[in-house]
Amino acid sequence: MHFSFGLLLAYPIRELVVRISNARGWGGLWFPIEFVLAFSCVYELLEWAIAVVFGGDLGIADLGSQGDVWEAQKDLALAGLGAVISMTVVLVVRLAYDRVGFGRELRESLRVKQREVMGEQALERLPGLRDQ
């Protein structure tokens, strides 16, 4: 289930990230993996909290770890693996259909866009920070 969660949710999250935040290149491939891992972590924390609230045998039965202390970490790893596989497929397909354009997009996403150091004077010029 956790592997499928990562595999099937990463691409829709990528579509949202690319369309809403305009993230391109590596960011459009990396953010969905991070989101899947974050959502999986929240799920595991909720699962743990429910086990603590119910306590005893009922809490352990709900936790479903069957005595495996690394169960949560394994679940997170499976979700992350599914997301990595999904984004790898996206990378391969994009490179197969538009190697030059997507390759340029990948290089551009790693380029430093603003070369000047953000010192105190540059921060004072940002809108909204002068009033504080």
Residue range 44-59: mean pLDDT, rounded: 79
pLDDT at 118: 74
What is the tally of helices (H) and strands (E) in the chain? 6, 0
Give CA–CA dist 71/39, Å, rounded.
Answer: 16
Which amino acid is present at 129? Answer: L
Give CA–CA dist 56/62, Å, rounded.
Answer: 10
Cβ pair 81, 2 in contact under 8 A: no
Give CA–CA dist 77/83, Å, rounded.
Answer: 10
Tell me the pTM: 0.76
Structure tokens at 88: 């790898």
Residue range 83-105: mean pLDDT, rounded: 91
Whether 130 has a pLDDT exceeding 60, the answer reads no
Cβ pair 75, 40 in contact under 8 A: yes
